[in-house]
Structure 1
Amino acid sequence: MKFNSLKTKVLFWFALSTLITLFLFNWALYYFLEQNTKLSIQNKLYDKAVFINKKIINNVSIDKLFEAEELKTLDVAIVKENKIIFKKGKVEFDNYLEFIKKDDSFFVFNRDNSLNGMYILRVSNPFKGAILFYQYNVDEEITKEFKQIKQILIILEPVLFILLLLLASRLVDKILRSIKDITSTANEIYVNNFSKEIPQPKYDDEIKELVDSFNKMIIRLKDGVEHLEQFNSDVSHELKTPLTVIRGEVEITLNKIRDPKYYEKSLKTIDNEARTITEIVDNLLLLTKYTKENIEQTFDVISLDSILLNTIDKFKNQVKIKNIKLNIEKLNPIQMNANSVLIATVFSNLIDNAIKYSKENTNINISLYEDDNIHFIIEDTGIGMEEKHLNKITKRFYRVDPSRNKKVKGFGLGLSIVQNSVFLHNGDMKISSEEQKGTKIEILF
């Protein structure tokens, strides 16, 4: 077991904490045992003092009194009017007056390297004074008490310590099992392999939260890599054509000296293709810029009807050229928490497509209203499409048939951007179309 491993560190601190706890327990036990023993000795001395006082009151001779068996071993002094009138035993009652004047009755102090106790019973009958008792080696009795407990603790505490350490080791192993699974899974994850997932623990605790967070991170990494790969694939695929045109135009132009008009025509071609590249890249960046994780940070309360009217106004020249009439069948004032750029893009792309694929002198009907959901509906009477294309039309760069309408400019990104924008707003998009009759698209938020 490595010393710098998490398990070793946890067990080390647990063992240290346990040892400190046991030490404090032993100290507390000794302290309470000491206090209890002192109290027991105090009570014994008190009982004897009361016994002596009763005898004195009953006029029993002091000399005869201390001949009793239970009093023979006592060191005692009787004080009358601040003077010792009787003393028995080897002890010198130094400073006895100071002790008598104090409020306490029981005193413990060190003398001759042992703990000794003195008890004072203050009396007023048959004389005013005090009876002083002296007890040697108070700590000896404490030691006797503690010795028995110590023998039990010597056996019990090491066993208890080992059991606690084993239990802690098993508990740490159980906790670290999920962390080992995370480490194992992380070691198996690389750019082209995000299929691994950490097994879920049985209990709903902090470890499960960690596992859930890690699995979600794997999904986010997978989505990020897929977005990047898709972006790279799309860019490399779609930029080939305009770049090939630019390169070919440059090679032909530089092949020999030409007149200025040819150079002007060639530069216009290169400019158009450069604009095409810029538009493709801008659209791809719009597709990859926002994700489910960051979209809500861009949300604000917006007016859908105002954005729609502003968008329609931008197409007034295009509809005028084809003599198309934009009919607003239903328009409710609607407030929504959303990304204004993406919502404007949704309206713009759908209206743009409807105009592009509509014949001249036709109508485009638009509705924006709210019931249980928010509805945006746009319906044209354009060229439409076959049903087989409906499940593919929102894929990037998909075009139904470029040859059927060569005048229509586009890259096949518009509906893909619309669908992604709707998805990011937790919406839904329904497309219905019939060839040569038109297309209807409904957005629900």
Structure 2
Amino acid sequence: MTDRMTRRYNRELARPGSPLAAVDLNSGTDPALAALGYRYLDRPVFFGEQEIRRFEADLLGTVDLLTSLPERLFDGDTARVCEALGLSPAKAALVGDLQKTKPPRFGRIDAYHDGESLRILEFNASSQTGGQEWVGAVADALLQQDAFREFAGAHGLHHVDTTAELARSLRAAASAVTSGRDPVVALVEGPGGMASYGHAWRPLQRILRGHGLECRLGEIGDLTVDRGRVRFDGTPVDLVYRVFDLDQVVDHPEGRALTERLRDAHRDGRVVLWSPLETDLHANKRWMAYLSDPSLRGHLSAEERATVDRVLPWTRMLTAGRGADRSTVEECRERRADLILKLNEGFAGSGITCGWLVDDRQWERALRQAAEVGAVVQQRVVPRREPVHDPATGRTEDWDSCLGLYWMPGGFAGGGSRLVPSGEPFTLEAARKKLAGVFLYPDATEEN
């Protein structure tokens, strides 16, 4: 069912002479949006405030369950956790002992609304999570448009400022070492990472500076760690915002040594690491099977299972050498058209096979290859249609919306949406992909 504020917006947009027809986020007149180089939807994705707050409670409860699984299932033993996740002993050694104190909540889910409720597709549960550079910029750009600002004011629309929440969270996390002053933040990529990912982190650096934080940007080789004191090009640093993952440093001698010293400085309380290395383990997709599969989730209470089932689709793991997986594989063969296959450590849409887009032979091959490296199979979630009206043509076209919603210590922290015409795949290279902000409205709003 289409969101009622979306219907209202489209009716107003279709009205002859509507000022909303002048809203244009792709004109190049907004320097922040133009610099990012994306294409944008000329309206946001809308949600009722109460719906989001109900979902927030389930989201945070599920995230807390997710991050508790290493302790619940493996007594916090990093080696056992990594073995269960199919990760190398080298990664286990780099992470070291899991800390008794949980790291601050931070991450982003990818989610669809299936017409009845929001459903989590996967968790991005560590500080490499991106997207913050555009979610706020799109929302702010809309509010600079007179027609949209008037519509928003008339209907009580608002958005949660993700980067403002992030800046507050970083200040709070760094307070343990700053004694009340603003922290010096280093946004740090892995060896060679700036060449590949610097385009995403430079805008985030500018945004954090706009929120008053002194923020440096570079690679881990720009850090020195001496007697627990961390410096970036000689400048003392209070908080290291880690945007590299374990794969980037575990086999790189200098990067690994610096990461170990950084890890130890964090644990000694000399610097804050946002986020600790163990959060990379939380991002592994196999945990979703530990939450969903009845044979694996005996550690959950009935109430916890109900919470998970409200937000997480049916999810099962494929693991090489496990006899129990034979029945799972057989079920996956039979249900191909309803399932999606995801590699455990895939990201940005890599390592995905959609069962409804391949034939039986291709699906069989994908299942076999995935089991060799570790993967999950998940129930397909069909997103509700987002009707997008084009005032220039008078036509309304259905699009699909993949939401990126953030959680932080304060709870739900806003987000945005990637949209493609209905039926087209969500990929980084999708030719017609557009980005949109997320705005909330009072649920008491009546249809008219």
Q: TM-score, normalised by structure 1?
A: 0.20
Higher RCO (CA 8 Å, separation ≥ 6 residues) = 2
- Which has the larger strand fraction? 2
- Which has the larger helix fraction? 1
Instruction: Indicate the structure (1 or 2) with the bigger Cα radius of gyration.
Output: 1
Q: TM-score, normalised by structure 2?
A: 0.20
